[in-house]
Amino acid sequence: MAKGPELFSDIGKKPKDLLTRDYSSDQKFSVSTFSAAGVALTSTAVKQGGLSTGDVAALYVYKKNLFNVKVDTESNISTTLTFTEILPSTNAIASFKIPDYNSGKFEVQYFHDHATLTAAAALSQSPAIDFTATLGTPTIAFGAEAGYDTSSGNLSKYTAGISVTKPDAYASVILGDKGDTIKASYVHYLDQLRRSAAVAEITRRFSTNENTFTVGGSYAVDHLTLVKAKLSNHGKLGALIQHELIPKSLVTISGEVDTKALDKNPRFGLAIALKP
């Protein structure tokens, strides 16, 4: 692939992952195995409140093409097919779910040294069509997204964003919800491996004059243990600790407390992921 700007969907993803990834209030257990044929199998069980769910996913890679199938306890079958380099610098992704046949989607991604383009369409009688375009370099990127509803003939969404990437920092600004919200975020990395970082994000909704501000960060205690924390202006304080038991196998304990309502019970989560 050409080494150009990031996809529009990746603008703002780094700070978002730091503030949301691995935080959970559920109990989750997953085990991954690999067959001799090269198929990766992952079994997952999740307990949320009094409800327990599970799924089994299979991932097969053939000549850089990915075939992913997931079956859950409600008999839903989700399939994603990713074909890389079907044309120069082009990916094609098809996804669908059975028995929800209207959930099908087909996407084409094109990568260039100074641009990335995507087009996606729902596989239904009145498909919604999404387009994104990003111009720039791996250091700075300007992008926009538009969604068109073929049934009504109207734009269903339009979004614009900019990102700046440096070796020790990342910043992004996104104007979304048809111009009703603006989100600015910044990440500063404290080590070369980018495991220790500080992050800040502010969102302004113009229609309600509401501001949401969140700060957080991650700190690598050692090469096996990572600690993360975050705090919003609404008083939500979250923290987690993640430890690598054996190579590629992680245990994560997370919690959240509402500092403005200490009478409420805090929320706790536990995730264990075992890989060979």
Token pair, residue 233, equals 């202006």
**DSSP count for the chain of H helices, then E strands:** 1, 19
Decide: pTM greater than 0.95.
Answer: no
Q: Are 250 and 228 in contact (CB under 8 A)?
A: no
Identify the burial level of 140 via C-beta atoms within 10 angstroms of its C-beta, where 0-12 means exposed, 13-18 middle and 19 or more buried: middle
The pLDDT value given to residue 115: 96
Q: List, for residues 72-113, the tens digit of each pLDDT value.
A: 998 899 999 999 978 889 999 999 998 887 788 999 999 999
pLDDT at residue number 29: 96
> Phi/psi at 103 (nearest 5 deg)?
-85, 0
Residues of the chain with pLDDT under 50: 1-2
Quick one: which of 170, 213, 176 has its CA closest to 188? 170
Q: Residue 191 corresponds to which amino acid?
A: D
Both tokens of 159, joined, read 């979004």
Cβ-based neighbour number of residue 32 at 10 Å? 17
Measured in residues, the chain has a length of 276
